[in-house]
């Protein structure tokens, strides 16, 4: 098969909004003659003028050479009609998210462009197969999904429709690498990789709010501190726009024929109905009336009342949180010994502290003294951890748990009962969604991980978390959530079940040979 080379291709970008002009900037900076077209020619001129000022500031700040600045502007051309795009080899549309409008545009382009011209859509969720259905030569229609801002964000999803030529996908992968991007391959499916797999990050956080287990401030803090996410779900959706995020969720939910995993949240719908759309409306989960108006979570002031050394017994396998065990053993206020055990627990007096793998403190341990602990992504720099005590725990039991953590300069955040708590529950759902994508050959494990790290800035990809925690822990967490809630959204994926059955626990290696 002949290899298609787009390294010197003439490029056209249709749509002079923020995304369109960002894509045009990228192409022009990498040496492509780049035409920009918009139905409103004034918008194109305004966008290019704004881009010129922005790039000049980079030159003045020493972040861009004058030569690159001049070459970029020289490569950018304004197209006043679609006819002027006839010689473009790659046309990228970045217009409104509407299938009919995108189809009409490509049908019009077919009238002026040759059969070899590539039609790429920057759609974030519309089926490439559906867009290409009524376009002559549908094999040349492909998804090329950039993330905003396009010049900065590294990820690009290269999406193949049912009839997309593999030669075109391969050429675009090579082109994106030349543009210093991180391209990932995806099959055309609702939400592709990122907008599909990211749904649980919002959904599980909103579920916790709907159950009155936490507050937006506390939830966001826990996800940043314990999960090591750059932003919590409430502040992130405020930034995105509650209406936009809600619309994407509804779109994915409806496209999957009301699949429960993607069901929209009533909490978010209430915000949208009230016009509380986030930063752009000055109110969402938080108020943005002035720079200091956003309410920040404050860790509780807790003092250790323990005057003597605590005896601690570590039992079972804690390889998922080995850094915590190291901290415990190094702490002078603790007398630590280890014992074998079928259950992974840390015994402090009469209390058994365990990782909250989807269990409910109120339901599963109503008569036992058990404290369930969330998972922390980096115990070496931990400042807090979410915990919940069973009803049988006394004030003295609470004090002992506090003494254990405070002696390590870690503040326990006492939560209401919420099965799986926050970080582990969310990660388990993200892993399950990643497994679903791989099972249906939407993307590979590596591409799923790259997409989530470079597309939405997750600290790790779903499969990296699964390897670190252990697929067995992810599975047990989901099984417990499924048992407690009785909802299909928590059913473990077949790919995950197979991983555990084949012995994949941690570090990507099976525990036993698989025939």
As a whole number of angstroms, the distance between CA 242 and CA 217 comes to 17
- Decide if 334 contacts 404 (C-beta within 8 A): yes
Return d(Cα 405, Cα 334) in angstroms, integer: 10
- Name which of 371, 349, 353 is nearest 361 in CA terms: 371
- What angle in degrees, to the nearest 10, is found between the helix axes of 199-210 and 216-225? 140
What are phi and psi for residue 462, nearest 5 degrees?
A: -55, -40
Report how far residue 386's alpha carbon sits from residue 210's, in angstroms, rounded to the nearest whole number: 18
- Non-local CB neighbours of 418 within 8 Å, separated by 6+ positions: 208, 211, 213, 214, 388, 425
Size of the chain, expressed as the number of residues it contains = 515
Q: Which residues are catalytic?
A: 124, 145, 157, 195
Q: Scan for tokens 């290019």, then name that residue.
A: 48
Q: Rounded to an integer, what distance in angstroms lies between the CA atom of residue 203 and that of residue 249?
A: 9
Burial of 289 (0-12, 13-18, 19+ CB in 10 A): exposed
| CB contact at 8 A, 423 and 227 | yes
Residue with tokens 């922390």: 376
CB 419 within 8 A of CB 359: yes
Cα 354 to Cα 343: distance, rounded to the nearest angstrom: 9
With tokens 């779109």, the residue in question is 251
Helix (H) or strand (E) segment spanning residue 327: helix 322-330
Q: How many CB atoms neighbour CB 440 within 10 A?
A: 12
Q: Tell me the sheet residues that pair with 34.
A: 11, 76
Separation CA 323–CA 325 (nearest Å): 5
Burial of 249 (0-12, 13-18, 19+ CB in 10 A): buried
In the three-class reduction of DSSP (H, G, I as helix; E, B as strand; rest coil), residue 349 is classed as coil
What DSSP assignment string belongs to 25-36?
HHHHHTT--EEE
């Amino acid at each position: 098969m002949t290899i298609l080379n787009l390294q010197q291709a003439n490029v056209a970008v249709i749509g002079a909004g923020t995304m369109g002009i960002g894509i045009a900037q990228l192409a022009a900076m990498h040496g492509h003659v780049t035409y920009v077209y918009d139905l409103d020619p004034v918008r194109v001129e305004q966008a290019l003028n704004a881009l010129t000022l922005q790039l000049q500031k980079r030159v003045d700040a020493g972040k861009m050479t004058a030569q690159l600045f001049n070459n970029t502007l020289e490569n950018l051309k304004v197209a006043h009609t679609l006819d002027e795009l006839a010689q473009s080899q790659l046309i990228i549309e970045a217009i409104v998210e509407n299938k009919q409008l995108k189809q009409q545009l490509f049908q019009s382009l077919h009238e002026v462009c040759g059969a070899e011209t590539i039609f790429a859509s920057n759609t974030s969720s519309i089926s490439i197969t559906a867009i290409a259905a009524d376009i002559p030569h549908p094999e040349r229609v492909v998804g090329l999904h950039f993330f905003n801002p396009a010049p900065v964000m590294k990820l690009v999803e290269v999406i193949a429709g049912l009839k997309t030529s593999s030669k075109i996908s391969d050429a675009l992968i090579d082109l994106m690498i030349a543009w210093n991007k991180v391209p990932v391959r995806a099959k055309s499916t609702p939400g592709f990789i990122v907008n599909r797999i990211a749904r649980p990050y919002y959904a599980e956080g909103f579920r916790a709010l709907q159950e009155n287990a936490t507050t937006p401030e506390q939830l966001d803090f826990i996800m940043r501190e314990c999960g090591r996410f750059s932003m919590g779900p409430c502040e992130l959706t405020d930034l995105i726009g509650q209406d936009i995020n809600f619309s994407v969720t509804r779109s994915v939910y409806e496209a999957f024929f009301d699949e429960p995993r993607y069901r929209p949240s009533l909490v978010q719908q209430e915000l949208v109905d009230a016009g509380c759309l986030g930063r752009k409306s000055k109110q969402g989960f938080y108020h943005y009336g002035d720079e200091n108006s956003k309410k920040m979570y404050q860790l509780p002031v807790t003092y250790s009342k323990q005057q003597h050394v605590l005896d601690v017994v570590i039992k079972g396998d804690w390889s998922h949180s080995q850094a915590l065990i190291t901290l415990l053993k190094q702490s002078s206020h603790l007398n630590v010994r280890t014992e074998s055990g079928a259950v992974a627990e840390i015994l402090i007096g009469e209390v058994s502290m365990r990782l909250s793998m989807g269990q409910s403190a109120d339901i599963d341990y109503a008569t036992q003294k058990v404290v369930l602990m969330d998972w922390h992504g980096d115990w070496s720099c931990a400042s807090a951890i979410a915990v919940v005590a069973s009803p049988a725990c006394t004030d003295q039991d609470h004090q002992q748990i506090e003494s254990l953590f405070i002696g390590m300069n870690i503040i326990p955040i006492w939560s209401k009962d919420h099965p799986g708590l926050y970080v582990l529950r969310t990660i388990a759902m993200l892993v399950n969604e990643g497994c679903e994508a791989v099972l249906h050959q939407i993307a590979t494990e590596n591409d799923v991980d790259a997409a989530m790290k470079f597309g939405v800035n997750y600290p790790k990809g779903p499969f990296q978390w699964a390897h670190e925690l252990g697929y067995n822990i992810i599975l047990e967490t989901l099984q417990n959530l499924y048992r407690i809630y009785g909802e299909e959204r928590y059913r473990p994926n077949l790919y995950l079940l197979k991983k555990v059955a084949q012995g994949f626990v941690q570090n990507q290696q099976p525990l036993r040979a698989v025939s």
